[in-house]
Structures are given as structure tokens and as C-alpha cells.
Amino acid sequence: MTWSPYYRGDGIERPIKPPKAPPWRTFPRESQHKQFQPPPGLVAAVNAAVLLRRPLLLRGPAGFGKSTVVEQVAHELALGRVLRWQVTSRSTLKEALYRYDALGRIHAQNLRLAGERSADDRDDIADFLQLGPLGTALLPSESGRPRALLIDEIDKSDMDLPSDLLDVLERGEFEIPELARHPVGEIDIRLWDSPETTIVHNGRISCHEFPFIVLTSNDERDFPEAFLRRCIRFTMPRPTVEMLERIIGAHLDGADTGSALVGEFVERIERGERLAIDQLLNAVYVLSETHVPDTAEIRDLLLRDLANG
């Protein structure tokens, strides 16, 4: 790999194939469970959450591997594919439990009344229902093993969402009102993460094994005490040189870790700069190539303080 033969900015077409992507930027995306290196104390926190059937709340800066924890746990405990709920300021508890396309159903009914659909085309509410990631995680498991669920960036949510979660996290069950009022007692509806379906009885879903739930927070807000006491909490520690060298070795087997670069990265974090570990991985990957110049300009490009935009 060289730095300049790809884009040169001269407007001349060159049929050059881009270089091989870093291992963490290959697609389809693969789990990073083998590469993740848990910091001291995390293993105990995970095992406490598993034993107590409590959610694990991971706090710390962005880019420190919080969301990868659930992938490693799911792999080691054979919990299957990880369910994911990416939280935003508009996220609601209802969308995490189930989705109901009421407008789509009304439209289908209007088409039927207008004769644009066959007379024997039934009005099936199941066609317009789908369980959300949390609702799917709470299904009784045929294997007897819990599902794994990532609730990512819970601190980005509306102020009321953590409190809204309390009853579901405590009781492990919920009701779908549209099905509870439906005359048919058993409805077959779709899961979140697959085309498979499950039968819901009288509109209620209740887990047999509480799912392994990881909630991540970038520490951008505080949470109610009632929410915190229902979680096992762990704060990702600031990385050390030794920890970072293990992480780099796991992702880039045989690559020169660049001890000076790692040491500089740790010093900048200690000074209060906001940097992510994946930034360091990017820098090591680029600068480990013999033809890429290790200059201040390139380091500033790859290791720019996140607080500076």
C-alpha cells in the first residue's frame, strides 16, 4: 500500500483497485467477539448480570468497545444472534416491544371495500404486526437459553424512556393491546430479526429466561435511581498502554503497535481529550504501511479530538 496512487486530485482516470480494507471495515459486518479485550472488572460485572438476571449498564466514552461486549458474551454463552435497539431522542418503549401498522391495515380494508382485492382476502391483523427487538428478546425460548439484546446509547433517549422501561425490565412481560382486544385468541406474528413468526396468546408475551441485556451510555446524562438500581453498572476504565497494545494485537495480528503512538494516545486522554480506540486502530493500520509517511499532518487527520467536531 502507498499513500498516493489511489486519489491524486489531477482528474485523470486510473483503473486501480483500492487496497484491502481493515478487518473491522469488511462487509457484511462480522462480530468482533474474538478481538474484544475486556478491561479489568468487566468479566465480574457480566457474570453478576447473568447470575442476577439484571441488565448490564456500560458507561464510558464513545469508541471504547461497549457495544462489542454483548457480541462476545452471546458467542461464549451460545445465545444466538444479538438483537439490537439503537436508541434516539424519538425512541419509545412501544416501538421496542412491537410495531403495528394501523394505517396500512386501514388502507388494505379500504381496498377490499372498493373491490380492488379479492373477496376472500381476509383482514388479518397479523399482516400488520411485528415484534420489536425488546419484544422478541422477551419471547419464551424453545432452547431454554435467553436471547442477547443490545440497547445502544440509552442516554440519547427522551427523558422518560428509562423510567418507562422499569416495569418491563422488572416483570419480563408485556401486553399488545391490539391483540388483547382481538376476538381471535392466538395470533401468529413476525419476529424482529427474522422472517419467522411466533404465536401470541391473548395478546401477552412473558419470558421464561430473562434476556441478557446490555445498555450502553456515553455518560451524556444521569439516570433515575429506580432505573440504576435495576441494573448492574460498570464504567469502562481509561485505557492503559498495555491494554491498548493487547487490543491492537488482537485486531492487527503482527502489526507494529507503534509504542510511541500508543503512549501519545494515552497521554492525550489523560489530558482530557476525547479520543476513541477505533481512531487509534485506524492510525496504526495506516501508519504501519511502509510507504505511508508518519507525519504530524496524518496523525492530526486520524487522531483528531472528537470534542473539536
Query: Tell me: the pLDDT tens digits for 135-179?
Result: 999 999 878 899 999 999 999 999 999 999 999 999 999 999 999
What's the rounded mean pLDDT across residues 116-142?
Answer: 81
The C-alpha cell of 15 is what? Answer: 483503473
d(CA 278, CA 138): 32
d(CA 67, CA 298): 28
What's the rounded mean pLDDT across residues 294-306?
Answer: 90
Query: pLDDT tens digits, residue range 33-48?
Result: 888 999 999 999 999 9
C-beta of residue 56 within 8 angstroms of C-beta of residue 213: yes
* DSSP reduced 3-state for 35: coil
Model pLDDT, residue 269: 94
Compute the half-sphere exposure of residue 98: CA atoms within 13 Å on the CB side of its CA: 25
Tell me where in the chain the CATH 3.40.50.300 domain(s) lie.
42-235
Q: Which amino acid is at 166?
A: L
Alpha-helical (H) ranges within 22-160 are 42-52, 69-76, 93-97, 102-113, 133-137
Other residues' Cβ atoms within 10 Å of the Cβ of residue 198: 16
The C-alpha cell of 189 is what? Answer: 406474528
Model pLDDT, residue 15: 87
* Topology of the domain covering 42-235: Rossmann fold (3.40.50)
The C-alpha cell of 173 is what? Answer: 412481560
What's the rounded mean pLDDT across residues 50-72?
Answer: 94
Model pLDDT, residue 253: 78
How are strands ordered across the β-sheet holding 98-100? 98-100, 129-131, 186-190, 197-201, 204-206, 173-175
d(CA 272, CA 221): 18
Model pLDDT, residue 157: 96
Say whether pLDDT at 120 is over 70: no
The C-alpha angle 81, 82, 85, rounded to 5 degrees, equals 140
If you average pLDDT over every residue of the chain, what do you get? 89
Residue that the C-alpha cell 371495500 belongs to = 113
Model pLDDT, residue 290: 63
DSSP H or E stretch at residue 265: helix 259-270
Query: pLDDT tens digits, residue range 237-248?
Result: 999 999 999 999
* DSSP reduced 3-state for 239: coil
